[in-house]
């Protein structure tokens, strides 16, 4: 396991100190699996002001298609050959086809009837229930032998800075034969790693991170929680690896509960920094991908300028896919660890 980094140094004449010379360190890290770069800098302290949520949310309920008075009227149904019941409903959660599909088997699952749930009030049980709804959808499409039932993915955009166009919490749920870019790159690199080293990359990563402790957060059941060495998020990423599990359909109810328990810990920790938006993606292999391990990436999102609504994804990240993280992941680990 190679944790490579190139140290950089910038010299400036500092206007805050009578134009005296000042050295600013930074670092370019390489993801140990894919080689993807992540630039670590000291741009600012990881502390943001939260907005007035009442003001932010006010009025959005009136046109929200996922609120209980509208969800069964305005959302579509699956045709009977995919899902005879049209939608999957469990308690106050509803799963239905994504009206803006980016693949042939896409669904959206609402996380209940409550329009706005503050990040720290989303319980592990609620997330687990919605994950189970998604799993039911995956098992049904797998049961009919659908050709897109290869990679089963749950994504979550929470609140506007994450890319979510709605306040109402919901998951993106889809099955696809086409692995999304980074997932495909990881799967290919993990296969190469297995061929070269004769071991599984993810098992080795967990062992190395547990031994060093620098980025290790903890273990819940067979899920191991880490701060990512080369994060994509500006405030770091939290990575959960499910030991021994190659593909989403192998996840047990217990695994789902453990993943959700860890997610709420990450949310509680980032809430203390003033973060209230995030992305969360499942990364999975196909059945029989021995080099794969199901893992989940939780990436906090924010604004570079909240008043202007400036995205934390700029040209560097959007067009070069080059990440900037505003603190060292080991420091971020120290801020998250009390919750784990």
Would you tell me which residues interact with Zn ion (CB under 5 A)?
Answer: 64, 66-67, 115, 168
Residue 235 makes CB contacts below 8 A (sequence gap 6+) with 46, 270, 273, 275, 300, 302, 325, 326, 327, 332
Task: Compute the least distance from the CB of residue 116 to Zn ion, in Å.
Answer: 7
Q: How far is the CB of 242 from Zn ion (least distance, A)?
A: 31
Which CB, 270 or 276, lies closer to Zn ion? 276
Least gap, CB of 61 to Zn ion (angstroms): 6
Contact 30, 37 (CB under 8 A): yes
Q: Which is nearer to Zn ion, 92 or 203 (CB)?
A: 92
Closest CB 60 distance from Zn ion, rounded Å: 7
Q: Choose between 50 and 114: whose C-beta lies nearer to Zn ion.
A: 114
Q: Which is nearer to Zn ion, 114 or 222 (CB)?
A: 114
Least Å distance, CB 58 to Zn ion, is 13
Residue 62 CB: number of other CB atoms within 10 A? 9
CB of 112 to Zn ion, least distance (A): 10
Beta strand 216-220 with 223-227 is antiparallel
Cβ closest to Zn ion, residue 67 vs residue 294 = 67
Choose between 67 and 261: whose C-beta lies nearer to Zn ion. Answer: 67
- Buried residues in 92-122 as b, exposed as e (16+ CB within 10 A): ebbbbbbeeeeeebbbbbbbbeebbbebeeb
The CA-CA-CA angle for residues 94, 156, 247, to 5°, reads 90
Residue 46 or 94: the one with the smaller Cβ distance to Zn ion is 94
In the bound complex, which residue of the shown chain has the CB atom lying closest to Zn ion?
A: 64
3-class secondary-structure state, position 249: helix
Query: Smallest distance, Å, CB 96 to Zn ion?
Result: 14
Q: Which alpha helices (DSSP H) does 32-109 contain, by range?
A: 53-57, 71-74
Counting every residue, how long is the chain?
A: 340
> What does the alpha-carbon distance between residue 17 and residue 256 come to, in Å, rounded to a whole number?
53
């Amino acid at each position: 396991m190679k944790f490579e980094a190139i140290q950089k140094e910038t010299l400036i004449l500092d206007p805050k100190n009578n134009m005296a010379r000042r050295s600013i360190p930074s670092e370019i890290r390489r993801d140990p699996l894919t080689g993807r770069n992540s630039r670590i800098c000291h741009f600012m302290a990881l502390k943001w002001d939260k907005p007035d949520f009442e003001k932010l949310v006010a009025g959005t309920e009136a046109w929200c298609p996922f609120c209980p008075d509208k969800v069964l009227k305005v959302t579509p149904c699956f045709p009977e050959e995919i899902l005879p019941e049209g939608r999957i409903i469990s308690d106050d959660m509803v799963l239905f086809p994504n009206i803006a599909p980016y693949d042939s088997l896409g669904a959206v699952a609402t996380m209940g009837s409550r329009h706005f749930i503050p990040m720290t009030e989303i319980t592990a049980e609620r997330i687990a229930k919605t994950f189970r709804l998604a799993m039911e959808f995956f098992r049904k499409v797998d049961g009919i032998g659908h050709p897109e039932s290869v990679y089963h993915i749950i994504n979550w955009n929470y609140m506007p800075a994450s890319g979510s166009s709605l306040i109402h919490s919901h998951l993106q749920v889809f099955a696809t034969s086409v692995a999304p870019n980074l997932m495909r790159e990881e799967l290919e690199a993990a296969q190469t790693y297995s061929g070269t080293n004769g071991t599984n990359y993810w098992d080795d990563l967990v062992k190395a991170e547990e031994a060093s402790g620098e980025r290790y957060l903890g273990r819940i059941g067979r899920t191991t929680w880490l701060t990512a060495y080369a994060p994509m998020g500006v405030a770091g990423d939290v990575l959960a690896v499910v030991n021994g599990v190659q593909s989403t359909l192998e996840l047990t109810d217990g695994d789902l509960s453990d993943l959700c328990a860890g997610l709420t810990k990450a949310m509680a920790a980032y809430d203390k920094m003033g973060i209230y938006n995030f992305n969360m993606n499942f990364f999975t292999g196909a059945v029989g991908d021995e080099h794969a391990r199901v893992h989940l990436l939780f990436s906090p999102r924010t604004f570079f300028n909240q008043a202007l609504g400036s995205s934390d994804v700029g040209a560097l990240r959007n067009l070069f896919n080059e990440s900037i993280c505003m603190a060292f992941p080991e420091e971020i680990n120290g801020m998250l660890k009390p919750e784990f």
